[in-house]
Amino acid sequence: MAPKFGDLKRYCDKNGWVMLRNTDHWYYEKVLSDGTVLRTKISHAVSKEIPKNLWEKIRLRQLQISETTFWEGVK
C-alpha cells in the first residue's frame, strides 16, 4: 500500500530528517553516519496518496529503506 504525503512527512519528522525549506514543497535532508546525504521533497497535499510508481522511487532512491522500515518509522 502506498502511503499518503502526510505519512512521508511524519516519517521524516520522526526519523532524524531536517527540513531545509518550506516553499512549494517541504524539502528534507538526512546525513547518514557514513557521510551519505539523502534528500527528498514532500508535497503539501498531505491527504493525497503517493502514486505507487513514485512511491517506489522515493523509498528506494531517496529514503533508501524497506517498506517495513518506513511503516515502523511512521508509528
pLDDT tens-digit map of 42-67: 999 999 999 999 999 999 999 999 99
The pLDDT score that the predictor gives to residue 63 is: 97
Each residue's pLDDT tens digit, 6-46: 999 999 999 999 999 999 999 999 999 999 999 999 999 99
Task: Give strand pairing partners of 31.
Answer: 37
Q: Tell me if 38 sits within 8 A of 63, measured CB to CB.
A: yes
Enter the C-alpha cell of residue 26.
Answer: 517541504
Under DSSP, the state recorded for 63 is I
Query: Which pLDDT belongs to residue 29?
Result: 98
CATH number of the domain enclosing 61: 3.30.920.30
pLDDT of amino acid 1? 76
> How many Cα atoms within 13 Å fall on the side-chain side of residue 33?
0
User: Domain residues for 36?
Assistant: 5-74
State how many domains the chain has. Answer: 1
Full-model pTM? 0.94
How far is Cα of residue 51 from the mean position of the Cα atoms in its chain? 14
